[in-house]
Amino acid sequence: MTRVLLTGFEPFGGERVNPSWQAVWRLAAAPPDGCDATAVQLPCVFGAALDTLRAAVERTDPEVVVCVGQAGGRADLTVERMAVNVNDAVIPDNAGRQPIDAPVVGGGPVGYFATLPVKACVAAARTAGVPASVSQTAGTYVCNHVFYGLMHLIATQRPAVRGGFVHIPYAPEQVLDRALPSMPVTLAVEGLRAVVAAAASQRGDIAMLGGATH
C-alpha cells in the first residue's frame, strides 16, 4: 500500500465552503486501489498552514503528498508545475495577515518543481473524464505558500516523496448566480483520484504538450 497524504483548505475570501477540503475528505474515504490515504484540513493562514502540513507529514510518513486548493475562476483541474519562494497576498489570510513580497523560506531557492509526474497526472485526470491541464503558476497566496513549503520539506528532508499541488475550480454551489466556471466536487474527486493513482504508480513523467506561450 502506498501511503498518501492529502490536504485541503478551510474556506477563505468570504466563501462558505472550500471544495478542496470537500474533495480530499471524500477521496481519503475512497482512495485509489493500492493506496492508503489520510486527509488533513489546513487553515488558510500563512505559517500555520505549513505547521499543520509539516505535522501531518511527520505523523503519516507519506510516500505521496498532494495538496489541493481552490482556484476560483479556473475551469479545469490544474496540476501545478512549480512553487515560488514568495508570499504576496492580495487579500488578508484568515488570521488577517497580508504579507507583501516576503519569502516563504528565508534563504530558500527561488522555485521548486513539483516531484509529482505533472503531465502524467494531467493525462490521468483526462482519461478519467475530468478536464485538466498544467498550470505554470500557483499564485503567491496561501496555496503557493503551502506548495513551496512542501517542496522545501521534501527537498531538504524527504527526497523520495512525490509531492505537488493541484487546484480545483469552484463548486457549483459557490457560483449559483455568478456565471463563473465550476466543477462538481464529485467530478473533482474523480480527477484527484486519477492524479493520486498516477503519482503513486509512476515516478518519471510523460512527454505531452502542456506549456504556455506566456
Catalytic residues: 80, 143, 167
Please, which residue, 37 or 77, has the CB nearer to its own copies?
77
Q: How many residues bind its own copies (CB under 8 A)?
A: 61
Q: How far is the CB of 123 from its own copies (least distance, A)?
A: 9
Q: At which residue does the C-alpha cell 505559517 appear?
A: 47
* Cα angle for residues 160, 66, 186 (degrees, 5° grid): 150
Site for its own copies in 105-164 (CB under 8 A): 109-113, 119, 126, 129-133, 136-141, 143
What one-letter code names the amino acid at 10?
Answer: E
Q: Which grid cell sits at 96?
A: 488577517
Size of the chain, expressed as the number of residues it contains: 214
> Which residues, listed in sequence order, are joined to residue 6 by a DSSP beta bridge?
39, 66
**Binder among 39, 66, 121, 183 for its own copies (CB under 8 A):** 183
Closest CA to 67 of 76, 79, 59, 75: 79
Q: How far is the CB of 3 from its own copies (least distance, A)?
A: 26
Site for its own copies in 50-109 (CB under 8 A): 69-72, 74-76, 81-82, 84, 86-91, 100-101, 109
